[in-house]
Amino acid sequence: MSAEPLDVVSDLPALRAAYSRFLVGDRVLLTGHSHQAWPDVARDALVRSFDDAARFVDDKWEQAIAPMQERVGAAILARMGFRGGDAIAFGKSTHELVFRLLSCFPAASRPRIVTTTGEFHSLHRQLARLAEEGADVVWVPAEPREGLADRLLAAITPGTAMVAFSAVLFEDAHVVPRLGEIVARAAEVGAVPLVDAYHAFNAVPIVWGPAKTQLFVTAGGYKYAEFGEGICWLRIPSTTALRPVDTGWFADFAALSAPRAFTVAYGSGGARFTGATFDASAFYRADAVLAHWERFGLTVPKLRAISLRQTRRILAILDAHGRSADVVSLRDDDRRGGFVAVRHPDAGAVVARLRAASVFVDARRDLLRLGPAPYLTDDEIDRGTLAAIEAMSAR
């Protein structure tokens, strides 16, 4: 008996049944790149978080949450292509974690930070603000996409403190090439390499390259992971001795019973980049959804194969209806992430028209983003894409 193709779900009806709260009515959720549907197990997990609190009260942290954090962290690292025992810190947002890392380089010391103009809003805004305070931020143009890797490599010169860039750009799903080479160059000049992998996690396998052990990588659960809000993470090199200025009491939790000191110390592993008390329900959701992925055999390579087949289908429909010239995302499978971006001068209005027709998409500037997901049928993808074409043609 031949093995099933990697680009199909073995039991799509069963997978769809696992999303009974989201897959309702006749609506089409082409939001796989932003807010994927949550499986029902995530809802059940919220009840478990309450029940554990009622059962253990303040002992929940040691009895339930700490073992769950360790399990979730190991599974996330494995899905990113790292060892399960690598250091990892959690936060409610990538901004929280990245700012903690940036706080290791006070703006008054004028750290040289290399980034691109194509980064997500939170990093762009934060670095722009730090530049106002004296940081030397080097903005590498993200457009044209061709040549971006060369421009980044040229900007990484001795004296650079940090290199911060995305593995997949959020506006058009552009997979940044030569990532391993860029990271290796950052490490060579003594810079901290930080990769934003939010649009890669659980969607695009990444080859990290020869300097993999020196990488800081941030991502989160809101998009392709299906964990929901409030859980993001930072993979940390085990050898780092950086001392975040932005530091919370969980960063040295084990020393709480010792006499209070006025010299700040940091715990081991990912603890040094940890903050303070957090909402643990996000870990219950993540733990349940990670088990959901395993239950259906949806590994990262499997999810990638499904996604590529679906985005190729969207591209074919756009081409067949005369929209080829409007497509911004690349045709090369290796260079296209988990969605298709189409340029339209009034993309926001198109989103509103589609929402009224129960087709859910979103837009960034003049780019309409169509994002499939593994639980969608081909019919839903076709209907959603055709509706988008019609909405773009409306006057």
Cα 382 to Cα 32, 266, 276, 316: the distances in Å are: 15, 53, 46, 10
Cβ-based neighbour number of residue 245 at 10 Å? 12
Q: What is the CA radius of gyration of the chain?
A: 22
Residue 108 has pLDDT above 90, yes or no: no
Q: What are the tens digits of pLDDT across the range 357-372?
A: 999 999 999 999 999 9
What is the rounded CA–CA span in Å between residue 354 and residue 27? 10
Confidence at 320, pLDDT banded by 50, 70, 90: very high
Using CA atoms of 220, 17, 376, 75 in order, give the dihedral in degrees to the nearest 10: 30
Q: What is the pLDDT of residue 215?
A: 98
Q: What is the pLDDT of residue 303?
A: 98
Residue 28 has pLDDT above 80, yes or no: yes
Q: What are the tens digits of pLDDT across the range 127-155?
A: 999 999 999 999 999 999 999 999 999 99
What is the rounded CA–CA span in Å between residue 54 and residue 33? 36
Domains, in order of start, for the chain: 12-30+299-393 (3.90.1150.10), 44-293 (3.40.640.10)
Q: What are the tens digits of pLDDT across the range 66-75?
A: 999 999 999 9
What is the rounded CA–CA span in Å between residue 256 and residue 258? 6
pTM: 0.95
What is the rounded CA–CA span in Å between residue 336 and residue 310? 12
Query: In a 3-state reduction of DSSP, which class is residue 79?
Result: helix
Q: What is the pLDDT of residue 2?
A: 53
Residue positions counted in the chain = 395
Q: Which two tokens stand for residue 43?
A: 């809802």
Q: What are the tens digits of pLDDT across the range 257-299?
A: 778 778 888 988 899 999 999 999 999 999 999 999 999 999 9
Residue 1 has pLDDT above 50, yes or no: no
